[in-house]
Chains A and B, each alone.
Chain A
C-alpha cells in the first residue's frame, strides 16, 4: 500500500468516526469513544508520517480515485510539503483529541461537537493531500463548513451567532478568491490537475493576479490583516479544543494553500509581489499584537495573537519570495525554512495556550481576565504549562518560538545582496516591525499570565477553582515538552524541513545535525550560530548553582508575612492592577495606530457619592473604514432590491424575458 493510500484510509476512518458520532449522538459513551478514536487515528497517522519523513525523505507518491468530476477524478499526492503540513495537522489533531477526552466531559451539547470535530480533522487532512483544483476547493469548503458548525455549537449566544455569520461570509469570500485563482491557473483549456498546472507557463500578468487572489483567499482564512476581522470572533466562540485546532492548525492549512499555489504551482511571479507580501506580513504582526494587548477576554486575546504569528509566517514567505525571484536560492531556503518552522511552533504553542484557556474556563467558568487572578495556587500544573506556552510564544530563549524568529532575522540580514533598492530598504524596516511585535508579544503574555494566574483572586469563582483532569493536563504537558524539545534541538526540525525547501526552491539549509554540540548554523559559523541546548543547560546550571551556594553557605531562613506594598497593603483584591490598566501605557503609546480611542471620565462633583467611572472605548479602524462601507452598501442594495419580492407574476415573467434577451444581445455583440 502506498503512503497516500494509508493516509486516505486514516481519513476514511475519521469520516467513519464522524458518522458513528451522529449515530451515537446522545449516548453517554460517545464523547470518550469519538475522542479516543480521533486521538488514535491522528496519532497513528502522525507516527506513520514521521517514519515516512525519516525513511523516505523527499519521496512523492500519488493516487487518484474515481470520485468527483467524471472526466477528472479525485487526485491525491503526498510530497514533502504535504508531509510537513500533515504532520502539523495530525499533531494538533492528536493533542486536541487527547485534550477533548477530558474537556469534552463538560460539554453541554456534545452532539453538536463530536460529528463535526472528526469531520473537521478529516477535512484538514484532505485539503493538504488534494492534488487537483476541484478536490482542493471541495475539501477547503468542507473544512470551512465543519469548522463553521463548530463555531455555532453554542448558538444560543447572540455573539456566537454573529461570529458564525461573519465567519461564513469571509470564508465564502476566501473560497471565491481561490476559485478564481485556480480558474486563472487552469487557463482556458481547464487543466485542473496540479500536475498539468505546474507544467504550464504562466504570463507575468496572470502570475501576479493569481498571487493576489491567493493572498486574498488563503490570507482571509489565515487571518492576514486586513482580512482578519472574523478570526477573533469565531475562534473563541468554539469549544476550547476546537479553538486550538482552528487557531493552531486550520490557519496553517491556509498557509499551506498559499505556499502550494505560490511556490509550487505558479512558477515565478514578478519580484515586487514580495513587497506586497512583506508589507502585509509586517502590518499583521504589529496590528495583531496591539489588538491582542487591548483584550481582556483570554480566548479572544489568544485569537488576536494568532494574527501576529500569521504575520511572522508571511514575513518569512515574503522573504523567500523576494530571494527566490532574484535567484538567491540559499537565502530563499533559509527564509522558507524559518516560516515553516514557525508554522510548526505556532501550531504547538497556540494549541497549548488555548488548552490552558479552556482549563481556566472549565475551572472557573470565566473567560474574562478581569474576573480571574491567583490561579497559580489553585491550578499549579495548568499554570506551569501555560507559562511554558507564554515564554515560547513571546520568542524567548531557550524555547522554540525564539528559534524560528531568530532564523527569520537571519534571513532578513541576507537582504543586502538583493538587487532592488526598494527591497533592500523595505526588508530591514519589516525587520524592525518584527522586532517591535516580538517585544509587544512579551508584554502581551506578561499581561495574560500575570492577570490570570498571578496576584490575588478577583472573584469567588477564581478563588475556588480546581485543577483540571489528567487528560487535559496530559495534552498540555505534551505540547509544553514539544516546545522545549523544538527549542533545544532545532537542528532536527531544520533538517526535517530540508526536503520541503529542496522540492520547492531547489536548495536547502546546511545539514545541522552533524554540527558539534548541536548548534544551528544557518549560513556559516562565522556569521551566526545559536545553540538552544547549551543556553538551556547554562541557565539551568547557573541558576541551580546560585541557589545551591546561597542555601548552603549564606542563609535559608524564610518568614511569611503580609505583603509590604510600601506600607499600605490593601486587603481588597480590586486594588490590583487589572488587564486594562496593565495595557494602558502601551495603549497610550501605540493605541492610535490600530484604534480610534475615546476616553470618558465621569467624575462626580464633591458631595456626590456615586463612584467615579473611567470608560475607554476602542473601535477597530480597519473595521470602520474597510468593512462598514461594504456593510452599508449591502444593506442599501438589499433595501432597494426588496421591492422585487412583491411583483405580479406578469412582471416576473417580464424580468425573466428581458434578462434572456439581454444575455442574447451581449452574446451577439461580443462574439
Chain B
C-alpha cells in the first residue's frame, strides 16, 4: 500500500515533466494551450494526492485553485485572445525543436544531479518531487527563452509557476498563505501580460517580440 501511494505520486510528478516536454515539442499555439491545461490538471491531481498523503486538507484548496484557474479559466481566456487577435497560429522557435528538447534533457539531468545530491537525507517522496519540480521550472524557463511569441512566453512562465507549486506542496508543511499569494501573483502577471499583449497588438500589429527591436534607440 505504501508503495502504490508512492508510485502514484511519482507518476503524477513525472507526468508534469513529460507534459513540459510536450510543450517544448509543440509548435502550434492552440495545441500548446491545451497541453498547458493538461499540465494544470496533472498539477491539481498531484497536489490533491499530496494532500491525501500528507493528510493536509488545506492543500485541496491549492489543488482546486490549480484546477479552476489554470486548467479552465486561463486556457479558455488564452484561446479567446488568440481568436480575437488573429495571432499567427504557428510559433517560430528561436532554436530548432530537436536542439531545444536536447537542451531540455540536459536540464532535467542537471536538476536530478543537483537535487539528489543536495537532499540526501530527505524523505524519498520529497526528494523526488523537488527533482521533478526543478526540472519543470527549468523547462519553463527554457520555453520562455526559446519562444519568440509572447503567448508562448506567457505559457512558459505559467508552466514555470506550476513547478513552483509542485515544489511547495512536495515540501511538507508549506502554509496555504504562500500558495494563494503565488497563485494570485500569477493571475496578476497574467492580466498584466494580457494587457501588454493588447498594447503590442494595437501599436505594432504583431506579437512577435523581435518586432520591438527596431524601436530601440542607438542601434
Q: Do chains A and B touch in the complex (CB under 8 A)?
A: yes
Q: Which residues of A contact B (CB under 8 A)?
A: 421-422, 425, 429, 589
What are 10 A-B interface contacts by the 8 Å CB criterion?
A421-B112, A421-B113, A421-B116, A421-B117, A422-B113, A425-B109, A425-B112, A425-B113, A429-B109, A589-B98
If A421-B113, A421-B117, A425-B109 are given as contacts, then 7 extra A-B residue pairs at C-beta distance below 8 Å, sorted by A number, are: A421-B112, A421-B116, A422-B113, A425-B112, A425-B113, A429-B109, A589-B98
Interface hits, B94-149 → A, CB 8 Å: 98, 109, 112-113, 116-117
Which chain B residue lies CB-closest to A593? B99
How far is A589 from B116 in the complex, measured between Cα atoms in Å?
34
Number of A-B contacts (CB under 8 A): 10
Contacts of A589 in B (CB 8 A): 98
Bound complex: CA of A429 vs CA of B117, how far in Å? 19
Q: Which residues from chain A contact B112 at a C-beta distance below 8 Å? A: 421, 425
Q: How far is the CB of B99 from chain A (nearest CB, A)?
A: 8
Contacts of A425 in B (CB 8 A): 109, 112-113
User: In the complex, which residue of chain A has the Cβ closest to the Cβ of B108?
Assistant: A425
A-B residue pairs, 9 tightest by C-beta? A421-B113, A425-B109, A421-B116, A422-B113, A421-B117, A425-B113, A425-B112, A421-B112, A429-B109
**CA separation between A422 and B109, bound complex, in Å?**
9
Please name all residues of chain B whose beta carbon is closer than 8 Å to the beta carbon of A429 when the two chains form the complex: 109
Shortest CB distance A479–B (Å): 38
Measured between beta carbons, the chain B residues less than 8 angstroms from A422 are: 113
How far is A422 from B117 in the complex, measured between Cα atoms in Å? 10
The interface residues of chain A lying within 8 Å CB-to-CB of B109 are 425, 429
Q: A589 vs B98: C-alpha distance in the bound complex, in angstroms?
A: 9
Q: How far is the CB of A587 from chain B (nearest CB, A)?
A: 14
The DSSP consensus for interface residues of chain B is: helix
User: What's the least CB distance linking B130 to chain A, in Å?
Assistant: 14
- The interface centre, meaning the residue of B109, B116, B117 with most chain A CB atoms within 10 A of its CB, is B109
CA distance A25 to B53 in the complex (A): 87
Shortest Cβ distance from A437 into chain B, in angstroms? 16
Q: What residues on A are CB-neighbors of B116 within 8 Å?
A: 421
Q: Inside 8 A of A421's CB, which chain B residues have their CB? A: 112-113, 116-117
Closest partner residue, chain B, to A422 (CB atom): B113
Chain B residue, CB-CB nearest to A432: B105
Residue of A nearest to B114 (CB): A421
Complexed CA–CA distance, A421 and B115 (Å): 10
Report Cα–Cα, A429/B98, bound state, in Å. Answer: 16
Nearest-CB distance from A137 to chain B (Å)?
Answer: 40
- Shortest B27–chain A CB gap in Å is 17
Q: How far is the CB of B28 from chain A (nearest CB, A)?
A: 22
Min CB distance B170 to A, Å, is 19
Cβ distance B128 to chain A, nearest Cβ, rounded Å: 14
Closest to B110 in A: A425
| Nearest A residue (CB) for B99 | A592
CA distance A190 to B52 in the complex (A): 70
List the B residue with the shortest CB-CB distance to A421.
B113
Q: How far is the CA of A670 from the CA of B117 in the complex (A)?
A: 45
Q: Which B residues from 22 to 65 make CB contacts under 8 A with A?
A: none
Residue of A at shortest CB range from B113? A421
In the assembled complex, the Cα of A385 lies from the Cα of B214 at a distance in Å of 63
Which residues of the other chain, A, contact B113 by a CB distance below 8 angstroms?
A: 421-422, 425
Complex alpha-carbon distance, A421 and B118, angstroms: 11
Complexed CA–CA distance, A422 and B110 (Å): 9
Complex alpha-carbon distance, A633 and B117, angstroms: 43
Beta-carbon nearest neighbor of B117 in chain A? A421
Distance to closest chain B CB from A252 (angstroms) = 33
B 74-101 to A, binary, CB cutoff 8 A, 1 in contact else 0: 0000000000000000000000001000
Whole-angstrom distance from the CB of B59 to the nearest CB of chain A? 30
Report the bound CA distance from A40 to B112 in whole Å: 58
Cα of A421 to Cα of B112 in the assembled complex, Å: 8
User: In whole angstroms, how far apart are the Cα atoms of A429 and B105 in the complex?
Assistant: 10
Q: How far in angstroms is the closest Cβ of chain B from A157?
A: 40
Determine how close the nearest CB of chain A comes to the CB of B70; give it in whole angstroms.
31
Distance A120 CA – B113 CA, assembled complex (angstroms): 48
A491 to B117, CA, bound (A): 40
**Which residue from chain B places its CB closest to the CB of A590 in the assembled complex?**
B98
CB nearest to B112 among chain A residues: A425
Give A94 Cβ to nearest chain B Cβ, in Å: 45
User: How many Å lie between the Cα of A422 and that of B114 in the bound state?
Assistant: 9
A425 to B131, CA, bound (A): 14
* Interface flags, B167-178, vs A, CB<8A=1, else 0: 000000000000
Q: How far is the CB of A58 from chain B (nearest CB, A)?
A: 40
Within the complex, what minimum Cβ distance (angstroms) separates A347 from chain B?
Answer: 34
A425 — nearest CB in chain B belongs to which residue? B109
Expressed in whole angstroms, the Cα–Cα distance for A425 and B112 within the complex equals 9
Complex Cα gap A653–B113 (Å): 62
Closest chain-A Cβ to B212's Cβ sits at a distance in Å of 28
A421 CA / B109 CA spacing, docked (Å): 10
Cα–Cα distance between A589 and B102 once the two chains are bound (Å): 14
Complex: A425 Cα to B107 Cα, angstroms:
12
Min Cβ gap A573→B in Å is: 36
| Cα separation A574 to B58 with both chains bound (whole Å) | 74
Nearest-CB residue, chain A, relative to B98: A589
User: What distance in Å separates the Cβ of A436 from its nearest Cβ neighbour in chain B?
Assistant: 12
CB distance from B162 to the nearest CB of A (A): 24
- Considering the chains assembled together, what is the distance between the CA atoms of A421 and B117 in angstroms? 7
Tell me the minimal C-beta distance from B141 to chain A in angstroms: 20
For the complex, what is the distance from the CA of A422 to the CA of B106, rounded to whole Å? 12
Q: How far is the CB of B21 from chain A (nearest CB, A)?
A: 16
Question: What distance in Å separates the Cβ of B149 from its nearest Cβ neighbour in chain A?
Answer: 23
How many whole Å from B203's CB to the nearest CB in chain A? Answer: 36
State A589–B97 Cα separation when bound (angstroms).
Answer: 12
Question: Bound complex: CA of A421 vs CA of B120, how far in Å?
Answer: 11
Q: Which residue of B lies closest to A426 (CB)?
A: B109
Q: CA separation between A262 and B117, bound complex, in Å?
A: 29
With both chains docked as a complex, state the minimum distance between the C-beta of A345 and any C-beta of chain B, in angstroms: 30
Closest to B105 in A: A429
Cα A378 to Cα B116 in complex, Å, equals 62
* A contact residues around B117 at 8 Å (CB): 421
Q: How far is the CB of A96 from chain B (nearest CB, A)?
A: 42
Query: Which residues of chain A are near B98, meaning CB under 8 Å?
Result: 589
Q: Which residue of A lies closest to B115 (CB)?
A: A421
How long is the Cα–Cα vector from A215 to B109 in the complex, in angstroms?
26
Complexed CA–CA distance, A422 and B113 (Å): 6
Output the nearest chain A residue to B106 by Cβ-Cβ distance. A429
Once bound together, how far apart are the Cα atoms of A425 and B116, in whole Å? 12
- A429 to B108 CA separation, bound complex (whole angstroms): 12
The chain A residue sitting closest to B96, CB to CB, is A592
Choose among B98, B113, B116 the residue with the greatest number of A CB atoms under 10 Å from its CB. Answer: B113
Tell me the nearest residue of chain A to B109, going by C-beta: A425
Q: Shortest distance in angstroms between A373's beta carbon and chain B's nearest beta carbon?
A: 33
In angstroms, Cα B116 to Cα A429, docked, is 18
Cα of A429 to Cα of B112 in the assembled complex, Å = 14
CA distance A425 to B108 in the complex (A): 10
Q: How far is the CA of A98 from the CA of B98 in the complex (A)?
A: 49
CA distance A551 to B113 in the complex (A): 61
